[in-house]
Structure 1
């Protein structure tokens, strides 16, 4: 995930930051993003089911849902920071999100 999110791999980082700011400010866009996340979760669940055939289907769904929730939370917080004028590296946002998840479930 970090490799995909890193600024060295994202020539459109500023465009993504602009979109993140818009999502933070516009509830209508948030609803559209939520519907896209549903599709992402469905695809991730199918891929995980193929790769982890012996896992309980509930566990696979939970993994997919948590992965998308971490991504969404990271993206949302990154957008909030952009609105506040902070230009945090998206990888750093993702790492902080993962750390918070670990703290919550520990």
Structure 2
């Protein structure tokens, strides 16, 4: 097989893998919503997704992780934005720009990734096991982002990158929780506006702390 042919096949394999991931995720979410996580088995998820349990475990280590599949196009866009961040400019505004674009892509729960996100956030409120899995996955992603930013800035000390990433990530999590809770309570709010409010609170808190330190 020629290199050219191989290069053509790679995107096709990636698309097929992404499609299988999404099919398994859809099956997992449907069953979790209907009968809860404890009441759902991997065999049931695999059967609904049209794959074998063995195939399921090639994609996911646990049934909870199956419901947490990111949208590939959105993930690729995030990777692209992170790779173009400028190390000689403040990192926090750049991180916030990345998160803003991600939240815009969710379209307040109306886009495909947005609908999936809302389903997951609603389930997380009722299923501690799913919330725990989501927090663990978030931690893995944040650690990877810390490593990327540390390499980007050429710093041997990753403390600054870790603080920025953790704070930016926590602000997003609060915004997502607030948004999902409001929808669940029948008083929907706009996700992007909620994020902007959370971000403003965080900035105000940091500014107040700085003023307090300077006045001592």
2:186 aligned residue (76, 81, 85): 85
TM-score (norm 2): 0.44
2:127 corresponds in structure 1 to: 26
- Between Structure 1 and Structure 2, how many residues are aligned? 105
1:68 partnered with 2:169: yes
CA RMSD of aligned residues (A): 2.0
Q: Contact 1:40–1:68 (CA<8 Å) still a contact in 2?
A: no
1:11 partnered with 2:111: yes
Larger Rg: 2
2:138 corresponds in structure 1 to: 37
Structure 2, gaps ≥5 residues long: 1-98, 208-216
Q: Contact 1:20–1:82 (CA<8 Å) still a contact in 2?
A: no
Q: 1:17 deviation in Å?
A: 1.7
- Partner Cα separation in structure 2 for residue 104 and residue 97 of structure 1: 11
State the Cα deviation string for residues 51-90 of structure 1 (Å, max 9, x = none): 2114742111111211221121111112211211233222
Structure 1, gaps ≥5 residues long: none
- Partner Cα separation in structure 2 for residue 77 and residue 4 of structure 1: 17
- Partner Cα separation in structure 1 for residue 183 and residue 149 of structure 2: 33
**Divergent runs of 4+, >3 A:** none
2:28 corresponds in structure 1 to: none
Which is bigger in relative contact order (C-alpha 8 A, separation at least 6)? Answer: 1
Q: 1:34 deviation in Å?
A: 1.0
Q: 1:15 deviation in Å?
A: 2.8
